Amino acid sequence: MKMSSISGRSLTAIGLSVMTAVGVVNPASANTPTTGHLAAAQEIVTQLDTIGWPAESAYNQYNSLTGGTVTWGTPGQPTTYNNNSQCAPFVTQSVQHAYSWARGSGSGSFFYTYFNANSPTSASWYYGLKYGKRTGPSTWIDVPHFETVNSAREILPGDVLAIQYGTGTGSPTGHTAIIESSEVWDDTSPTTTVFRVKVLDSTSNPHGLAPAGDTRSVGYTEYNGAGSGYMLLYADKASGAFTGSKWGVNEGGGSYYPNVETSAGRPFIVSHVTD
């Protein structure tokens, strides 16, 4: 059963002034969620998509060897944009493109200070958002500009989704994406609600074949790089707490993974980005 949804493009346009039942700002939050990084990711995906596949592959591809780079160009001139990145660097560089507090490199930079790397892996994104920065044997501090989303009903456009694969020691270590929208996808279970979230990411494996809605899928042909697609997040019906996820809606790689920190799980966290 489908219910209300909230769109990142419309929310960006109205400046977070209107909310729906699916996305409600936690009234206890001291900071305001912001969507500049979402707009940055939307811009490069939209501009590159005007080229069209397969020609787009010359400017948009998944970097399987290193973290890679993302280059923003001039709107209306799509070939001035370039994506050659993995998932975590795509999100990191979208955040850096949007906010001055996230820029820089070296020991004094934001990401090096709080994630122990200028370009953190997906596992590092997950650990930092979940536990914060370790400052002692048993002490941690929260990462500023990020606030944990504890209920699937509180997902907002621009939230960062950070997934760790198993224990986070394999390759890849996980997946990182920016959520553009969220809607209730299946509410028929007495205990679980399934949310379909539209994500922006850079991946070698699009989130489903057409007509699943991934911009990197053309018929039965899948391309790699930056784009948008749909993932499924599972939540406890009573509390809204996240219980699991699926990579896509209609593909072979769409197995269910529990939100647990075991070798068989894919634990994840959703966080608002704040100003």
Give pLDDT tens digits for 231-240.
999 999 999 9
Residues composing the chain: 275
How many of the other CB atoms lie within 10 Å of CB of 16?
16
Residue 87 belongs to a domain: yes
Q: Which residues is 203 bridged to in the sheet? A: 225
Mean pLDDT within 85-114: 95
Does residue 107 carry a pLDDT above 90? no
pTM of model > 0.75: yes
Residue 22 belongs to a domain: no
Crossing angle for the helix pair 122-131 and 87-98, to the nearest 10 degrees: 60
Where do runs of H (alpha helix) occur along 121-272? 122-131
Q: For all residues of the chain together, what is the average pLDDT?
A: 88
Total domain count, the chain? 1
Percentage of residues of the chain with pLDDT beyond 70? 88
Lowest mean pLDDT among 42-51, 53-62, 86-95, 165-174: 165-174
Residue 23 belongs to a domain: no
Q: Are 36 and 98 in contact (CB under 8 A)?
A: yes
What tokens appear for 152 in the block?
């699937």
Coil/strand/helix, residue 268? strand
CA distance 192 to 148: 21
The kind and range of the H/E element at 87 are: helix 87-98
Lowest mean pLDDT among 60-64, 99-103, 104-108, 109-113: 104-108
Q: How confident is the model at residue 135 (pLDDT cuts 50, 70, 90)?
A: confident
∠ at Cα 167 (117, 136), nearest 5°?
A: 50
Residue 26 belongs to a domain: no
Stronger pLDDT, 31 or 82, i.e. the higher one? 82
| Residue at token pair 């053309």 | 218
Mean pLDDT within 208-221: 85
Question: Which domain does 186 fall in, by range?
Answer: 5-13+31-273
Residue 124 belongs to a domain: yes
* Predicted local confidence at residue 252, as pLDDT: 58
Residue 25 belongs to a domain: no
* Predicted local confidence at residue 6, as pLDDT: 42
Residue 21 belongs to a domain: no
- Measuring CA to CA, which residue among 218, 186, 187, 216 is closest to residue 199? 216
Q: Are 245 and 233 in contact (CB under 8 A)?
A: yes
Q: What are phi and psi of 173, to 5 degrees?
A: -80, -15
Coil/strand/helix, residue 219? coil
Residue 18 belongs to a domain: no
